[in-house]
Amino acid sequence: MIRITRKMEFSASHLYHNPDFSPEQNRRIFGKCNNPHGHGHNYVLEVTIAGEPDPATGMVLDLKELKEILEREVGDRMDHRFLNHEVPELAGQIPTTEVIAATIWKLLEPKIRRGKLDRVRLYETPDLFVDCTADLPGGPQ
């Protein structure tokens, strides 16, 4: 099995807030991530596809096709957006890095026609990232 990975970057803002918590609980649990005006990140997304290379092309999946899928499904939807309010797939959720990565998985998986989506890695900062993989019980939540 071969794994190929494509990387992309996007910038977005978000707010951690649970409407079931009191203002004090939200501030205590989420700290500065509970800023009512949100805060932003320059996210780095790595998407890995696993499979066997096509004998005719030598490719697991055409990387140009993967780039177009990422731009359409992630870039167009999330780049320079306030995730809480502008991304319907995140409505009603706290857009943690974990939730965003799982949402990206759900957006991408049905679009991959060759190979299989193997991993979505989302960096919120250079030293904080989340991996979403198919081997989670029941798949990505």
- Catalytic center residues: 33, 80, 124
Q: In this structure, which amino acid lies at residue 9?
A: E
Six-digit token pair at 115? 């190979």
Residue 22's φ and ψ, nearest 5 degrees, are -70, 165
Residue environment code for 72-94, b if the CB has 16+ CB neighbours within 10 A, otherwise e: ebbbebbeebebbeebeebeeeb
Q: In this structure, which amino acid lies at residue 78?
A: M
